[in-house]
Structure formats: structure tokens, C-alpha cells
């Protein structure tokens, strides 16, 4: 058994010990090569339980947070899921291995192009990706059984995402400022009522509107490397 396989097994055992019970989520993480989604210089950290930078001021979430968010969605192979914030594409692949169809939105076009290469290389065929304003959701494809947001809404999730969620559907989203954020689980009871559960403290990049401009991408890269 090579070092990479040993690290992956160690990570899966750690996730189990930290309370992750959903076997579909654990299997998806175990069978997804996280090293493919991170820069070459950091591949030795692929199976450490830590977030890593992927460029343009963005990160790939730590595996425990990926597992918590995925498990909290209560996914089934019948679900149509919206992901806001494709990033590296790693979370998208985990979800796509469990749900029926995944629609994913990313505001940084270069990141989306790289993520699509990963989807193609892994032969994941049930993902549709779009460069767009994730705060507006994907109205042409509504309603969604589940929604996951991988960036932090400042006070409350965007109304458009609530509107596009089915009654009985679940949305997982971090909420808070840059310092204090809580991962929250919303379940839509009816058109005007939601139950809300706090899951754990987290730290995500902020949820921002519009497709990122070329200038913003330069500034994000400078802030990351500066």
C-alpha cells in the first residue's frame, strides 16, 4: 500500500471518529482523488484535514467540512442539487457521486474551466456547470431538492435561493462576517417557513454577486500571494 493510500485511509478513519456516519458520503470521499484538485506544490497535503488555497483568493474546504455539509444535505440518488461556488470542483464531485443531478455555479471563470477539466477526467457526467452570479441561483432549473452554498452569506442566504428550494428541501450555507461564521441547515417547511439548525463554526470566503471581472481576479491573486 502506497503512502497516498495510507493517508486516505487515515483520513476516512478520522472522519468516522469525528462523527461522520453517512456511508455514501464516506465512500464518495474515499473514491475521489483530492490531490487532483489542489496545486502541485501542495499535493503532499491532499489528505490532511485542512483547507488549501486554489488560487484567485479561493480555497478547497477541509475534508471534515465537506463531509459535514454533504451529510447534512441527506442526499439520495433522486435529488436534483444546486451548488453555489464550484471552486476546485472537489465538493461538486462528492455530491455528484450521490445525487441524481448537480447544477453548479462559479463566479470565477478560470476556476470553473479547471473544475470542468476535473469532471471530464473523472468521467463525472451528471454535473452541469455555469459561470454566473450564484446569489441569483439558477432559476431556469428550479426547483431544487437540495442547495449547498460554499461561501458565506453575510446575514441571511439570498432570497432567490430560498425561492428555488422545494418545499421539504434542505439548504446548507455558512452565514456570518469574515470573522464569525456558522454553518446552518435550513429546511423549507412551506413557502414562508423554515426550520434552522446551527451545525458548526466555519470560515469561508464571502458570498459575492456577479461574475468576477478580470481586474478582480488579478486583485484576488495579488492578495493571496502578497
195 is catalytic: no
Digit-coded pLDDT (tens) for 81-125: 999 999 999 999 999 999 999 999 999 999 999 999 999 999 999
Digit-coded pLDDT (tens) for 56-72: 888 999 999 999 999 99
- Whether the per-residue pLDDT at 180 is higher than 70: the answer is yes
| DSSP letter assigned to residue 76 | -
Q: Is 53 exposed, middle or buried (0-12, 13-18, 19+ CB in 10 A)?
A: middle
What's the confidence (pLDDT) of residue 223? 38
What's the confidence (pLDDT) of residue 112? 96
Please give the angle made by the CA atoms of 51, 23 and 48, to the nearest 5 degrees: 20
What's the confidence (pLDDT) of residue 81? 98
Calculate mean pLDDT across residues 197-211: 94
Coil, strand or helix: which one is 122? coil
State the pLDDT confidence band at 225, using cuts at 50, 70 and 90.
very low
Active-site hit among 61, 76, 195, 213: 61
What's the confidence (pLDDT) of residue 156? 92
Q: How many domains is the chain built from?
A: 1
Digit-coded pLDDT (tens) for 123-177: 999 999 999 999 999 999 999 999 999 999 999 999 999 999 999 999 999 999 9
| Residue that wins the pLDDT comparison between 223 and 134 | 134
d(CA 85, CA 49): 20
C-alpha grid cell for residue 99? 445525487
Q: Which residues pair with 160 in a beta bridge?
A: none
What's the confidence (pLDDT) of residue 5? 83
State the pLDDT confidence band at 222, using cuts at 50, 70 and 90.
very low
- Which domain does 169 fall in, by range? 3-225
- Whether the per-residue pLDDT at 55 is higher than 50: the answer is yes
State the pLDDT confidence band at 224, using cuts at 50, 70 and 90.
very low
If you average pLDDT over every residue of the chain, what do you get?
A: 92
What's the confidence (pLDDT) of residue 169? 98
Domain holding 52: CATH number?
3.40.50.150
C-alpha grid cell for residue 206? 464571502
What's the confidence (pLDDT) of residue 126? 98
What's the confidence (pLDDT) of residue 202? 96
Amino acid at each position: 500500500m502506497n503512502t497516498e493510500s495510507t493517508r486516505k485511509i487515515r483520513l476516512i478513519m478520522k472522519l468516522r471518529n469525528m462523527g461522520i456516519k453517512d456511508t455514501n458520503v464516506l465512500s464518495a470521499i474515499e473514491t475521489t482523488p483530492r490531490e487532483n484538485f489542489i496545486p502541485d506544490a501542495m499535493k503532499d497535503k491532499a489528505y490532511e484535514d485542512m483547507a488549501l488555497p486554489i488560487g484567485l483568493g479561493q480555497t478547497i474546504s477541509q475534508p471534515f467540512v465537506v463531509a459535514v455539509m454533504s451529510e447534512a444535505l441527506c442526499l439520495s440518488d433522486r435529488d436534483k442539487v444546486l451548488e453555489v461556488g464550484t471552486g476546485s470542483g472537489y465538493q461538486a464531485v462528492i455530491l455528484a457521486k450521490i445525487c441524481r443531478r448537480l447544477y453548479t455555479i462559479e463566479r470565477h471563470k478560470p476556476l470553473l474551466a479547471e473544475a470542468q477539466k476535473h469532471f471530464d477526467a473523472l468521467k463525472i457526467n451528471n454535473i452541469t456547470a455555469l459561470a454566473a452570479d450564484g446569489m441569483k441561483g439558477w432559476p431556469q432549473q428550479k426547483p431544487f431538492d437540495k442547495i449547498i452554498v460554499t461561501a458565506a452569506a453575510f446575514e441571511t442566504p439570498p432570497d432567490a435561493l430560498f425561492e428555488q428550494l422545494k418545499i421539504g428541501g434542505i439548504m446548507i450555507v455558512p452565514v456570518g462576517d469574515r470573522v464569525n461564521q456558522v454553518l446552518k441547515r435550513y429546511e423549507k417547511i412551506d413557502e414562508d417557513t423554515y426550520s434552522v439548525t446551527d451545525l458548526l463554526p466555519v470560515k469561508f470566503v464571502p458570498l459575492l454577486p456577479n461574475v468576477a471581472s478580470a481586474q478582480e481576479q488579478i486583485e484576488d491573486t495579488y492578495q493571496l500571494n502578497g
